[in-house]
């Protein structure tokens, strides 16, 4: 499975390199930052696993393999790679903005984009005032430039999508799919930011619904369905893949929460405990506050949402969660989603006759990988 995604990453990365080189010519006419951001976006995008772009390819290959086995000709692979590149630019845009909102300075084992620009400003030595004044000015300006960088990535992605050479009906469906899903991510992100400053934790259902729209659908459903649509799959098959991807995406976000507290910073490529410092109302927060006694809650609330806590404080929350058997409660929730996913897999197989095909097996391997991932 990993070899499959590695191959897709190479193809998508090559496309992005070529595409962003052409954008350098255009944006470089504006100023030097036009060339600079293209380089940074390429480096930032290709530093990750590029799994979402690979999922576009998988959604296409699952149904195209069936088409070829039935003796029919399959086409559109070049456009699938282009869509994969657009997905990765959208992912980069979302991460760049997310890092600013969460005040994170590390992403994929390297400084975040807004931190890169802040460091760039400090290194130029052109800021006036005391060192503290310079640092604050650089930090704010770095965030402002990061917002611009994310916006540029979004519009570059839609530039790719608008130029696809596809059947007009499918092309419209692709554009509507991406516009809808990314817009819903923005609305869900607003709720996430709001809840981090609220004393209310929300219900388990509300938190999982947030995960569905903030992460689940755009991470799995959107790319899988995009690829499937180009393959010519029918509406019922696309719907089953969408539902399966949505549930897989919720598991992905729950596992992200776990790694954010119980993981290793080197493997995760981002700071451990950032959800605690930001006061994120994660499923871990919900389960912990619903299980802890009064004394445990009293200390917990002095830590959670405090941006200045130490690693010792993070360890306190981690050990409290272990003592209250929060990991076991999370596994119970995940297992419920796994049952739903397996039923969707069976329905998809019955509808599309995919059993025994290579790419259907890769999809099943991906589900297993998601359940056991360490980063």
pLDDT value for 269: 60
Give the H/E segment covering residue 293.
none
Residue 327 reports pLDDT greater than 90: yes
Give the mean model confidence (pLDDT) for residues 287-295.
Answer: 92
pLDDT (average), residues 76-81: 87
- Most confident range (mean pLDDT) of 32-46, 121-135, 296-310 is 32-46
pLDDT of residue 266: 67
Q: What is the pLDDT of residues 263-276, one digit of tens each?
A: 877 666 667 888 89
The percent of residues in the chain predicted with pLDDT above 70, rounded, is: 95
The most confident of the ranges 63-77, 193-207, 220-234 is: 220-234
Residue 141 burial (C-beta neighbours within 10 Å; 0-12, 13-18, 19+): middle
Both structure tokens of 137: 């000015």
2-372 under CATH 1.10.600.10, yes or no:
yes
Give the pLDDT score at 245.
95
- pLDDT exceeds cutoff 80 at 65: no
Cα 60 to Cα 20: distance, rounded to the nearest angstrom: 24
Distance, in Å, from the CA atom of 176 to the CA atom of 254, rounded to the nearest integer, reads: 28
* Alpha carbons 116 and 13: distance in angstroms, whole number: 22
Q: Between 196 and 222, where is the model more confident?
A: 222
Please compute the mean of the pLDDT values over residues 286-290 and round it to a whole number: 92
Per-residue H/E/C for 228-247:
HHHHCCCHHHHHHHHHHHHH
204-211 and 283-291 are packed helices; what angle lies between their axes, rounded to 10 degrees?
170
Domain map of the chain by residue range?
A: 2-372
Q: What angle do CA 128, 131, 136 make, to 5 degrees?
A: 80
Instruction: Between 33 and 354, name the one with better pLDDT.
Output: 33
> Quick count: other Cβ atoms within 10 Å of Cβ 244?
23
What's the pLDDT at 75? 56
- pLDDT for residue 133: 81
Check pLDDT > 90 for residue 354: no
Is it the case that residue 74 has pLDDT exceeding 60?
no
Question: Can you say whether the dihedral through the CA atoms of 291, 295, 298, 302 is positive or negative?
Answer: negative
Q: Whats the size of the chain, residue-wise?
A: 375
Task: Calculate the average pLDDT of the chain.
Answer: 90
Query: Which alpha helices (H) appear in 28-103, and where do they start and end?
Result: 32-46, 51-69, 77-102
What integer pLDDT is reported at residue 279 of this predicted model? Answer: 86
Mean pLDDT over 319-324 rounds to 95
pLDDT for 77 equals 80
Centroid of chain to Cα 157: 15
pLDDT at 71 over 50: no
User: If pLDDT is split at 50, 70 and 90, which confidence band does 134 have?
Assistant: confident
**Residue 104: strand, helix, or coil:** coil
């Amino acid at each position: 499975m990993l070899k499959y995604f590695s191959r897709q990453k190479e193809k998508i990365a090559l496309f992005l390199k070529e595409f962003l080189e052409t954008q350098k010519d255009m944006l470089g006419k504006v100023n030097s930052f036009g060339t600079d951001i293209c380089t940074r976006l390429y480096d930032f995008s290709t530093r990750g696993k590029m799994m979402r772009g690979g999922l576009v390819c998988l959604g296409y290959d699952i149904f195209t393999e069936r088409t070829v086995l039935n003796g029919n000709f399959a086409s559109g692979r070049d456009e699938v790679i282009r869509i994969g590149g657009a997905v990765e630019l959208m992912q980069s845009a979302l991460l760049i903005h997310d890092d600013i909102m969460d005040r994170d300075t590390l992403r994929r084992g390297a400084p975040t984009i807004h931190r890169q620009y802040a460091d760039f400003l400090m290194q130029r030595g052109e800021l006036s005032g005391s060192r503290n004044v310079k640092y604050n000015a650089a930090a704010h300006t770095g965030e402002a430039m990061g917002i611009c960088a994310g916006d540029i990535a979004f519009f570059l992605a839609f530039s790719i999508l608008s130029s696809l050479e596809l059947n007009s009906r499918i092309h419209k469906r692709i554009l509507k799919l991406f516009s809808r899903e990314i817009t819903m991510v923005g609305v869900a992100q607003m709720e996430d930011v709001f809840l981090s400053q609220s004393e209310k934790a929300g219900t388990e259902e509300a938190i999982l619904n947030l995960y569905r729209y903030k992460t689940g659908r755009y991470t799995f459903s959107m790319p899988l369905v995009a690829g499937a649509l180009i393959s010519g799959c029918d509406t019922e098959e696309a719907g089953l893949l969408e539902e399966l991807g949505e549930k897989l995406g919720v598991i992905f976000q729950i596992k992200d929460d776990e790694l954010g507290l119980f993981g290793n910073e080197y493997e995760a490529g981002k700071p451990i405990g950032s959800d605690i410092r930001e006061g994120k109302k994660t499923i871990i927060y919900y389960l912990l506050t619903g299980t802890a006694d009064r004394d445990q809650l009293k200390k917990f609330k002095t830590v959670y949402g405090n941006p200045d806590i130490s690693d010792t404080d993070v360890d306190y929350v981690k050990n409290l969660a272990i003592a209250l058997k929060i990991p076991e409660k999370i596994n119970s929730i995940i297992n419920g989603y796994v049952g739903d996913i397996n039923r969707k897999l069976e329905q998809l197989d019955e509808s599309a006759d995919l059993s025994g095909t290579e790419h259907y097996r890769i999809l099943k391997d991906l589900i297993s990988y998601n359940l056991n991932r360490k980063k």
